[in-house]
Amino acid sequence: MGQGFTVDAVKLQAGSREASSLLRQSAGVAADAVSALMGIAGSAGHPGLSSALAQAVSQGSTAFAGLALAYQHAGTSLATSAEVYLRAERGIAARASGLFERPQWQAW
């Protein structure tokens, strides 16, 4: 007999919610970091420092955008997988219940 693994659709759905939560949390952190860096850059009074901070904001925003896409992809994939497994489980259960029903053409 082959060895496999058990898939729990509820855990997949929970993972999707966790990924979405991480996305929201990281968005808040990114917004705070950008705001702080922009404030520092604006009040630095030194063109080189202001330029470096502006570049850091740009790079941070790019990094966050990539992270956001990764979290979004993970969350969507987990939710889709959960739905596929739930649909499969329901289909198997429906077919299995039919195995124990007496055919209507057969009179006992």
Domain extent listing, the chain: 9-99
Residue 99 predicted with pLDDT over 80: no
Higher pLDDT, 80 or 96: 80
Mean pLDDT of the chain: 82
Measured CA to CA, the distance from residue 23 to residue 78 in angstroms comes to 14
Report the percent of the chain where pLDDT is more than 90: 6
Q: What is the pLDDT of residues 48-95, one digit of tens each?
A: 888 888 888 888 888 888 888 888 898 899 899 989 989 988 888 888
pTM for the full predicted model = 0.63
Give me the long-range contacts of 24-33 (CB less than 8 A, separation at least 24): 26/64, 26/67, 26/68, 26/71, 27/64, 27/68, 30/60, 30/61, 30/64, 33/60
Among 3, 42, 26, which Cα is nearest to 75's? 26
Q: Lowest-confidence range among 24-28, 36-40, 42-46? A: 42-46
Measured CA to CA, the distance from residue 62 to residue 49 in angstroms comes to 20
Cα 74–chain centre separation:
4
Residue 103 predicted with pLDDT over 80: no
**Rounded mean pLDDT, 45-49:** 83
Q: Tell the residue number behind the tokens 């006992």, with chain if given.
A: 108
